[in-house]
Every structure is written in structure tokens, then in C-alpha cells.
């Protein structure tokens, strides 16, 4: 048994110290066809907006949940150029909620900013989240995109605070969220925008204001948060996650919302839109917005996406107009998905 010299790290210390916030991104792109055809471009735009618009000190942790070689190569290049602080890789898809359990335990910061890999970030997003988290009493889960659907569940703690009141707290019901944001949300999640607006036409948004005494700070928030993107204290996030391994590829995120609520904490959103859900495709409107934000260089993505851009609205495919068409196609898709990616 031999040994050559002494480990050069022995007796030395690192000058690295974790930032207060760990920004985390979970990605899963098993191939670049079908549903995932534009997902690499979506991920590239997401990480470009994150780099450009996150000014506060943070560490970036990316968890790759079994993506294809092209996506892994891209992430490795970003880590090699020091644009990703921590890159965690699973050799297969271990499911979303279980990936969160690993990510949240591994995050070195006291605050976790969790994001799916299809979320666009606007300037000042993290500052706006932290303002609500630091100022509002019992705030724990803060999202940057208010959506009316997000206020329809896990609101016991919010209801309790609104009914009991607190010093410096104001509560109003308004039609505060613009319909244009709701249309974007419906489109990016595969909903029918007109049906979504119709279903929520009588919904009023719960708008909360809070001001500390002696002019020590004030802000507004909208009741409800989204589980595709949120900022949460690490200790509360770990409490809210399932204690045991679930094995579920999808699901359990609504249960995460409910767990935060059952712990007695508030789920809130910023009143302005600081993040935007993109879904699995980039429309020309999104690319135009990205260009206006300075996120695209030399027509980036235009050549890759030539002929593939998704229009803002389009007629339903004739198969979807057949009686039972959606049910039959959904069953076939789910079966093929389980065969290809399980």
C-alpha cells in the first residue's frame, strides 16, 4: 500500500459561504421531440432570464431529473463556466416531489427559491418575493405570478388572518389580476383561455396590505401562491414535504400547498407579475418580449424554432372535435408516455 505526498487541502479552509438564498431549478427533458420538441430552447431562455434578472446574492442549484444527452451537455457547459453553482443529476426520472426532497435538503441557503424549468423571470423578481416574505406575518410560500386558481385551495391560514385581522393589516376583495395575465396562464398550461376567463369572471382577488409601525416598511400581496414557482424558508419547506419517499413521477404538489397551509403559514403572490409560466413551447409573442428585455442575441432561437413557433391561439385539431376525441387521445398519450419515459 503506497501514498504519494500529502493532500494539498489538508489544514486549509474555504472562503466560500452560502448566500442566504438558494435558487433551485428542476428540469426534466428526456428527448427533444414531440411534447419536448422546444423544451431545450425554453430552458435556455429561462436560465438566461434568471442570470440577467437576479441581482441579489444567491447560489444556483439545478437538479436534472434524467434529461437527454443534449440537455446534460448544456448544463455541464454552464457549470463549467461557473453559471451554475451546484448541478445535481439523476440518471433517471425519480419524480418531482422526491426530487424536491433531495434539492431542499441539499440547498445551502436558509431561503429556497424553487422554480420549474419553464418560468421566465423579470427584473427585481427576487427582491419582490423577499419583501413579502420578510414583511408579512406568517408568510411562507410566495410566488411571483398571481393566478386566480391558486387562491381556491389551501387558504385556511389566509382566511383566519383575514377574519381576525392584525395590526397594520388591510384586506380587500378586488378584480386586481389583469385578464391578460390569466390568458397567458391558461395558454401556457393548455387551458382554453375563453373558458378559463368565463369560469373565473365572478372571482374577486384577495388583496392584502401590510405596514409596519413607524414607517418601517409596507407592501401588498395577493392571497394564494403557485407551486410551479415560489420562495420559501428552507425549514418550512422541509416540514411541508412528504417525510417518506413517494415514488410518484408527478403529483403531490397540491399536497405541498396544503401542508404549508396546515402548518399555519400563508401562501401569497406579488401583485405585479415578476415571473411568467411559459409551458413547453415559445410563441412569437414571448420571443418578442424576451428580445425587448435584452435576453436574445443575434436572433437567438429563431433559426432553431423556424416553422415551430406556437401562435397565441389556434383552431382545435379535427381529432379533438370528434366525440370522445380528447379522452381517447389522452389515454393513448399517457400509455405511450409511460412506455417511453418510465
pLDDT tens string 66-101: 999 999 999 999 999 999 999 999 999 999 999 999
Residue 287 CB coordination number (10 Å): 20
DSSP 91-136: SS---HHHHHHHHHHH--SSEEEEEETTEEE-TTHHHHHHHHHHHS
Identify the CA nearest to 205 among candidates 238, 182, 239: 182
- Residue 215 falls in which region: left (phi positive, over 0), alpha (psi -120 to 50) or beta: left
Q: Is residue 69 part of a domain?
A: yes
- Give which of 281, 286, 293, 275 is closest to 113, Cα–Cα: 275
Residue 269 pLDDT > 70: yes
Residue 319 lies in a domain: no
Whole-angstrom distance, CA of residue 247 vs CA of residue 255: 15
* 47-73 mean pLDDT: 97
Q: Please tell me which residue, 328 or 65, carries the higher pLDDT value.
A: 65
Q: Tell whether 161 is covered by a domain.
A: yes
In a domain, 9, yes or no: no
Q: Inform me whether the pLDDT recorded for 28 exceeds 60.
A: yes
Q: What is the pLDDT of residue 12?
A: 84
Q: Which domain holds residue 69?
A: 21-292
| Residues 6+ away with beta carbon under 8 Å from 221 | 132, 136, 139, 142, 207, 208, 210, 268, 269, 270, 271
**Quick count: other Cβ atoms within 10 Å of Cβ 112?**
24
Q: Report how far residue 28's alpha carbon sits from residue 23's, in angstroms, rounded to the nearest whole number.
A: 17
Q: What is the pLDDT of residue 314?
A: 52
Output the pLDDT for position 312: 47
Which residue is associated with the grid cell 466560500?
16
Task: Give mean pLDDT, residues 187-196.
Answer: 91
In a domain, 208, yes or no: yes
Contact 126, 56 (CB under 8 A): yes
Tell whether the model's pLDDT for residue 151 goes beyond 50.
Answer: yes
Residue 265 domain-assigned (yes or no): yes
Angle at 97 between CA 150 and CA 55, to 5 degrees: 70
Provide φ and ψ at 282, rounded to 5°: -105, 125
- The conformation of residue 147, written as its DSSP 8-state character, comes to -
Q: What is the pTM of this model?
A: 0.86
5 falls within a domain: no
Task: Give which of 100, 97, 188, 96 is closest to 147, Cα–Cα.
Answer: 188
Judge whether residue 168 has pLDDT over 70: yes
233 found inside a domain: yes
Q: List 60's β-bridge partners, or say none.
A: 23
Q: How many domains does the chain have?
A: 1
pLDDT-derived band of residue 334, with 50, 70 and 90 as boundaries?
Answer: low
If you search the block for the grid coordinates 424549468, which residue do you land on? 117
Averaged over 171-180, what is the pLDDT?
93
Kindly report the CATH number assigned to the domain that includes residue 89.
Answer: 3.90.550.10
Amino acid at each position: 500500500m503506497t501514498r504519494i505526498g500529502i493532500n494539498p487541502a489538508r489544514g486549509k479552509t474555504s472562503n466560500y459561504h452560502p448566500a442566504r438564498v438558494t435558487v433551485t431549478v428542476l428540469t426534466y427533458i428526456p428527448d427533444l421531440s414531440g411534447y419536448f420538441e422546444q423544451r431545450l430552447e425554453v430552458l435556455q431562455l429561462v436560465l438566461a432570464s434568471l442570470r440577467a434578472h437576479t441581482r441579489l446574492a444567491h447560489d444556483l442549484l439545478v437538479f436534472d431529473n434524467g434529461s437527454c444527452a443534449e440537455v446534460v451537455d448544456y448544463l455541464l457547459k454552464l457549470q463549467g463556466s461557473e453559471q451554475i453553482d451546484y448541478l445535481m443529476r439523476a440518471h433517471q426520472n425519480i419524480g418531482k416531489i422526491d426530487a424536491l426532497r433531495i434539492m431542499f435538503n441539499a440547498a445551502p441557503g436558509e431561503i429556497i427559491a424553487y422554480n420549474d424549468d419553464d418560468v421566465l423571470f423579470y427584473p427585481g423578481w427576487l427582491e419582490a418575493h423577499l419583501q413579502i416574505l420578510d414583511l408579512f406575518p406568517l408568510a411562507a410560500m410566495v410566488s411571483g405570478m398571481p393566478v386566480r386558481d391558486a387562491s381556491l385551495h389551501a387558504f385556511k391560514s389566509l382566511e383566519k388572518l383575514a377574519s381576525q385581522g392584525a395590526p397594520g393589516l388591510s384586506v380587500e376583495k378586488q378584480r386586481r389580476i389583469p385578464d391578460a395575465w390569466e390568458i397567458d396562464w391558461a395558454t401556457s398550461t393548455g387551458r382554453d383561455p375563453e373558458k378559463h376567463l368565463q369560469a373565473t369572471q365572478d372571482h374577486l382577488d384577495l388583496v392584502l396590505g401590510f405596514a409596519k409601525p413607524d414607517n418601517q416598511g409596507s407592501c401588498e400581496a395577493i392571497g394564494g401562491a403557485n407551486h410551479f414557482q415560489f420562495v420559501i424558508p428552507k425549514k418550512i419547506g422541509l416540514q411541508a414535504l412528504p417525510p417518506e419517499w413517494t415514488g410518484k413521477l408527478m403529483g403531490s404538489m397540491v399536497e405541498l400547498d396544503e401542508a404549508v397551509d396546515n402548518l399555519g403559514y400563508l401562501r401569497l403572490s406579488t401583485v405585479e407579475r415578476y415571473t411568467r409560466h411559459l409551458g413547453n413551447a415559445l410563441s412569437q409573442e414571448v420571443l418578442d418580449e424576451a428580445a425587448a428585455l435584452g435576453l436574445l442575441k443575434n436572433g437567438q432561437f429563431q433559426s432553431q424554432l423556424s416553422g415551430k413557433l406556437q401562435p397565441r391561439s389556434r383552431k382545435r385539431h379535427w381529432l379533438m372535435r370528434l366525440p370522445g376525441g380528447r379522452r381517447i387521445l389522452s389515454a393513448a398519450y399517457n400509455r405511450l408516455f409511460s412506455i417511453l419515459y418510465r
